[in-house]
């Protein structure tokens, strides 16, 4: 019984540290892959808001347009589109 508790006290922090480290590594890799090679980004998320635990609204700027989308478990739905603020058409 004592041996089990000793193993638990050693392995539990080790596993938690490995999980935390892998999450940080994945986050860093994702941010590096998201940047385009030329440095110019063609799409950016302007604003997001949670309506419920399963529904989020987001405004995305893409090619001079602002697109309002809803994100849910079923997928993405485009709700509206308008010229980006600051640009005249």
33-89 pLDDT, tens digit per residue, is 766 566 567 788 899 999 999 999 999 999 889 999 999 999 999 999 999 875 444
Q: What is the pTM of this model?
A: 0.52
70 within 8 A of 57, measured Cβ to Cβ: yes
Per-residue pLDDT at 18:
96
Range 20-28 average pLDDT: 93
45-59 pLDDT, tens digit per residue, is 899 999 999 999 999
Rounded-to-integer distance, Cα 37 and Cα 59, Å: 24
Q: What does the DSSP 8-state code read for residue 21? A: H
**Would you place residue 31 in the very low, low, confident or very high pLDDT band (cuts 50, 70, 90)?**
confident
Per-residue pLDDT at 36:
55
Per-residue pLDDT at 85:
79
Helix (H, G, I), strand (E, B) or coil at 22: helix
């Amino acid at each position: 019984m004592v041996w089990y508790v000793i193993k638990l006290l050693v392995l539990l922090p080790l596993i938690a540290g490995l999980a935390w480290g892998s999450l940080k590594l994945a986050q860093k890799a994702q941010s590096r892959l998201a940047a385009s090679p030329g440095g110019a980004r063609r799409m950016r998320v302007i604003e997001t808001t949670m309506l419920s635990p399963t529904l989020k609204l987001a405004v995305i700027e893409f090619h001079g347009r602002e697109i309002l989308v809803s994100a849910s478990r079923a997928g993405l739905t485009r709700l509206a589109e308008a010229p980006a603020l600051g640009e005249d058409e």
